[in-house]
């Protein structure tokens, strides 16, 4: 596997990042996961813009987006595969233990792993922990993913593949790695960005293509929703057919199926044109 580290392609086993990298010691980093279909990245420009936004929010030096793009293209070319997951990681760089972030710059890693298409349906659960919509990291895609790891483990214990959070005022927010949509009285809704959810790229495309409304929703809408689906880079649009043990349906409901279809039809235009 060839990866990109700070300006050049290297063999993954030879690539070294300092043990004093702030990304490792204090989780001071941001990242993106980008889908790649036969070596072509999906929505790469949107991902690069969000990487820059997250870096700004965390006070990291601005990433050189031309270099990040070059790194993505080089890694894709060096590791051909049908369906890949590009991972861009950008951290605060090396600084001595216990010190503030130095001015050593930043660390940029682009890696790729093979993946498979996610199933069309899944089960999800709610978890008792909250997303802090007023927190300093709200809406940023940082490497501080510990809360998501804990919540996802709780979901897996219950036979589900995603855990859904409410925010501090009890409104539906998002999953550990996905945004959530619900159908209520036949209408499609998703929580607004002010709920504290990540500005998901799949979410934004689904809002515009499937015409979802951005609505503050109490968590208990999940008890009466006719349909629920998740969106994310690796899931695309994925129907939730069981929520907290309640079976909604055997397969995607009509609104979800329509959103899946529109997403598949419109996606081609988002593939990186290079
Ligand atoms: N919310 C969180 C917390 C995520 O980590 C992700 C993706 O990883 C998403 C939502 C979905 O975002 P996207 O559609 O850009 O993959």
pLDDT tens digits for range 112-125? 999 999 999 999 99
* pLDDT tens-digit readout, 52-75: 999 999 999 999 999 999 999 999
C-alpha dist (Å) from residue 47 to 201, 233, 255, 272: 8, 10, 27, 11
**Ligand 1 center to residue 7 CA distance, Å?**
27
Q: Give Dmax over CA atoms of the chain in angstroms.
A: 56
Looking at ligand 1, which residue's alpha carbon is closest to its atom 6? 177
**Residue 105: what pLDDT?**
74
CA geometry: angle at 95 spanning 31 and 25, to 5°? 55
**Residue 175: what pLDDT?**
98
User: If you write DSSP's letter for every residue of 90-156 in order, what string do you get?
Assistant: EE--B--TTSPP-SS--EEEEEEEE--PPPSEEEEEEEEEEE-TTSTTTT--BS--HHHHHHHHHHH
**Ligand 1 center to residue 99 CA distance, Å?**
31
d(CA 229, CA 190): 10
| Per-residue pLDDT at 181 exceeds 70 | yes
**Ligand 1 center to residue 199 CA distance, Å?**
7
d(CA 42, CA 235): 13
d(CA 265, CA 263): 5
The reply to whether ligand 1 has any atom less than 6 angstroms from the CB of 142 is no
**Residue 104: what pLDDT?**
62
Looking at ligand 1, which residue's alpha carbon is closest to its atom 2? 177
Dihedral angle sign, alpha carbons of residues 243, 244, 247, 251: positive
Per the CB < 8 A criterion, the answer to whether 75 and 110 are in contact is: yes
Per the CB < 8 A criterion, the answer to whether 94 and 104 are in contact is: yes
């Amino acid at each position: 596997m060839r990866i990109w580290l700070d300006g050049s392609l290297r063999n993954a086993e030879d690539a070294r990042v300092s043990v004093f990298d702030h990304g490792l010691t204090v989780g001071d980093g941001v990242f993106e996961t980008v889908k790649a279909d036969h070596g072509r990245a999906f929505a790469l420009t949107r991902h690069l813009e969000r990487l820059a936004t997250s870096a700004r929010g965390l006070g990291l030096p601005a990433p050189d987006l031309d270099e990040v793009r070059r790194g993505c293209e080089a890694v894709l070319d060096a590791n051909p595969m049908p369906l890949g997951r590009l991972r861009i990681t950008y951290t605060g760089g090396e600084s001595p233990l216990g010190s503030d972030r130095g001015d050593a710059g930043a660390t940029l890693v682009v890696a790729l792993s093979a993946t498979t298409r996610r199933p069309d349906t899944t089960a999800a659960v709610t978890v008792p922990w909250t997303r802090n919509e007023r927190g300093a990291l709200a809406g940023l895609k940082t490497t501080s993913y510990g809360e998501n790891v804990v919540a996802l483990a709780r979901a897996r214990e219950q036979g589900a593949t995603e855990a859904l959070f409410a925010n501090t005022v009890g409104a539906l927010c998002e999953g550990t790695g996905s945004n959530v949509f619900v159908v209520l009285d036949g209408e499609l809704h998703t929580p607004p960005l002010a709920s504290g959810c990540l500005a998901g790229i799949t979410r934004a495309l689904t809002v515009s293509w499937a015409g979802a409304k951005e609505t503050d929703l109490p968590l208990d809408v999940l008890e009466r929703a006719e349909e629920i689906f998740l969106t994310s880079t690796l899931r695309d649009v994925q129907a939730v057919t069981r929520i907290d043990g309640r079976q909604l349906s055997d397969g995607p409901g009509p609104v979800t199926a329509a959103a899946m279809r529109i997403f598949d039809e419109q996606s081609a235009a988002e593939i990186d044109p290079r």
